[in-house]
Amino acid sequence: MISLKRLRGALTYLNSADPIYRWSLKSGRCPLCGPSRFLAMAKDPFLVRCLKCRANVTNLAVAEAARQNVRNLQSKRAYEMSTYGSSFQFLKKHCGNVESSEYFPAAKPGELVRGIRNEDAQQLSFDDCSFDLVTSNQVFEHVPNIDKCLTECNRVLKQGGILLFTVPLYETNATEHVAEIDQGAIRWLSTPEYHSSRTTGPNSVPVFWRFSVHDIAERVRAAQFSQVTLLSICVYKHQREPQLVVYATK
What CATH number corresponds to the domain at position 72? 3.40.50.150
Q: Coil, helix or strand for 4?
A: helix
Q: Are 123 and 97 in contact (CB under 8 A)?
A: no
Whether residue 194 lies inside any domain: the answer is: yes
Mean pLDDT of 20-35: 93
Q: Is 51 within a domain? A: no
Q: How far apart are CA 135 and CA 122, in angstroms?
A: 15
117-128 pLDDT, tens digit each? 999 999 999 999
How many helices (H) and strands (E) would you count in the chain? 5, 18
**41 within a domain of the structure (yes/no):** no
Among 101-110, 148-157, 194-203, top mean pLDDT goes to 148-157
Q: Is the pLDDT of residue 25 over 70?
A: yes
**Rounded to the nearest 10 degrees, how much is the dihedral formed by the CA atoms of 3, 51, 239, 23?**
-70
Please state the domain count of the chain: 1
Percent of all residues in the chain with a pLDDT value above 70, rounded to a whole number: 92
Answer yes or no: are the C-beta atoms of 206 and 186 closer than 8 Å. Answer: yes
Confidence of residue 196 (pLDDT cuts 50, 70, 90): confident
Contact call for residues 78 and 91 (beta carbons, < 8 A) = yes
Nearest-angstrom CA–CA distance, 171 and 62: 21
Q: Confidence class of residue 2 from pLDDT cuts 50, 70 and 90? A: very low
In a domain, 228, yes or no: yes
Q: At what angle do helices 86-94 and 57-69 cross, to 10 degrees?
A: 30
Q: What is the pLDDT of residues 234-246, one digit of tens each?
A: 998 889 899 999 9
Give the model's pLDDT for residue 186. 95
The answer, yes or no, to whether residue 11 has pLDDT greater than 90, is no
**What is the average pLDDT across 74-81?**
97
Torsion of the alpha carbons at 41, 92, 141 and 105, rounded to the nearest 10:
130
For residue 5, is it within any domain? no
3-state SS, residue 250: coil
What does pLDDT average to over the chain? 92
Radius of gyration of the chain (CA): 18
| Section 135-143 average pLDDT | 96
Task: Note whether residue 203 is domain-resident.
Answer: yes
- Is 112 part of a structural domain of the chain? yes
Between 17 and 221, the higher pLDDT residue:
221
What is the value of pTM for the model shown?
0.91
- Please give the pLDDT value at position 1: 42
Mean pLDDT in residue range 176-203: 87
Angle at 205 between CA 203 and CA 211, to 5 degrees: 105
What is the distance between the alpha carbons of residues 160 and 162, in angstroms, rounded to a whole number?
7
Task: With respect to residue 195, please indicate whether it lies within any of the assigned structural domains.
Answer: yes
Pairwise CA distance, residues 128 & 36, whole Å:
39
The residue range of the domain holding 124 is 56-249
**Quick check: 109 pLDDT over 50?**
yes
